[in-house]
Amino acid sequence: MSDRTAFIDLIERAERSHPACPECGSTVVAIARDGAIWLECPTLAEPRPFLRQLIRLDFEVAHSRSLLLDESEALAA
């Protein structure tokens, strides 16, 4: 149970320290994907046609995405 509390604390601290995407201002969220937990801009999950990206100069690399915890770290805890 303490590992679970530690993981939740890690996510909450990361959300407090980086509350919004610097590119678009959207509130970042914790997302589980591919055996890891990421803190990222929710707009990254939206379809991004290349032409729209080019016109708006809105590229994925500018949006917030950071790895909080991967599967190997979770198993070691």
C-alpha angle 43/49/55, rounded to 5°? Answer: 90
Residue 49 lies in domain: 2-76
Pair 43, 24: CB distance under 8 Å: yes
Question: How high does pLDDT run on average in the chain?
Answer: 77
Ranges of the chain with pLDDT below 70? 1-2, 46-63, 72-77
Neighbours of 22 (CB within 10 A): 11
**So what's the pLDDT on residue 1?**
46
Domains contained in the chain, number: 1
Q: How far apart are CA 61 and CA 12, in angstroms?
A: 23
**So what's the pLDDT on residue 18?**
86
Pair 74, 7: CB distance under 8 Å: yes
Structure token digits, residue 18:
């980086």
pTM for the full model?
0.64
